[in-house]
Amino acid sequence: MMKISKIEYYLPQQVLTNDDLEKQFPEWSSERIQEKVGISQRHISSDNETVLDMAVQSSEKIFESYDRNQVDFILFCTQSPEYFLPTTACILQDRLGLRKNIGAIDFNLGCSGFVYGLAFAKGLISAGIAKSILLVTSETYTKHIHPDDKGNRSIFGDASASAIIEKAEGNDYQFCLGTDGSGAENLIVKKGAFKKDFELNPEHEFSPENIYMNGPEIFNFTIENIPGLVKETLEVNGMTMDDIDYFVFHQANSFMLNYLRKKTKIPAEKFYIDMEKTGNTVSATIPIALKNMMEKGMLKEGDKVLMAGFGVGYSWGATIMEI
């Protein structure tokens, strides 16, 4: 078994409120945005602030109470890396002053990234490759969004979360992972890498350099796959809903989350939603939620949390962790 020993996160200083959005898009009221997506504000990285800068901030919070010399592997999840090459995780090793005889790797996943990172960490620990893993999820999706894209601007915020994953005694919980690349076109930034012969989506209002999200299709994908994911995760771990103390899903938007909760018949008191002040921070939403639960005293030793991430790719994953 492994455990999450520590979690810290960083939010950029710049804040975009619903009132700010209402001033630019007067046809949308601040109250309507709050009601529709459950978000009142989101943090926006500055022009010169990158996922690496934010990762340093969240990780240094970890090392205020954890010996950085114990870290022997960095897993860095981002879809907005510092460069095409080199690997951002390698630069992070240097910026944090970590030992040189450690492993470091980036992986490109979005909203399922934290769960996948835990799965990778489990493999490294089980194989004896690493004992202490720094798992970082850092994203600046807002840099992909067109200034006139009021839908995506109302949802996404930027953030970085860092966690220490270590070996622990106890139950060895299993992962359920899924992939469906046929949905790639429904959440995509077409231009910016090396593919040149892409076709423009006639529904895409903005530049192919900006993010495009087909909201209805993303919603349909989630509703079709995530209830089954929860059921499968409970089954492979020989557990029922009664055995789980809390369910923490990727914080996509409040409407989607409440719909999922009702469809999967999860009791409201076990289902945690926490995105009002941060928005959808992609791969960082689950660790941010867990940290806030810890600070509120909601989680106690021995509690079991089912985590589920899902989104761009399509990609999804879930597991159970014991606090």
Amino acid at 322: E
Cβ atoms of residues 291 and 114 within 8 Å: no
Strand residue runs (E) in the chain = 2-10, 14-17, 41-44, 73-77, 103-107, 132-139, 159-167, 176-179, 187-188, 212-213, 246-249, 304-311, 315-322
Active-site residue identified among 43, 77, 111, 144: 111
- CA 251/CA 222 separation, integer angstroms: 12
Active-site residue identified among 144, 186, 250, 253: 250
Token pair recorded at residue 180:
């469906």
- CA 75/CA 144 separation, integer angstroms: 23
- What is the biggest distance separating any 2 CA atoms in the chain, rounded to whole angstroms? 57
Amino acid at 25: F
The upper half-sphere exposure of residue 37, i.e. CA atoms within 13 Å in the direction of its Cβ, equals 29
- CA 90/CA 28 separation, integer angstroms: 43
315 φ/ψ angles, rounded to the nearest 5 degrees:
-145, 140
**Among the residues of 27-172, which ranges form H helices?**
30-37, 51-62, 88-96, 113-126, 150-155
Asked about 250 being catalytic, the answer comes back as yes
- CA 170/CA 165 separation, integer angstroms: 15
Active site residues: 111, 250, 280
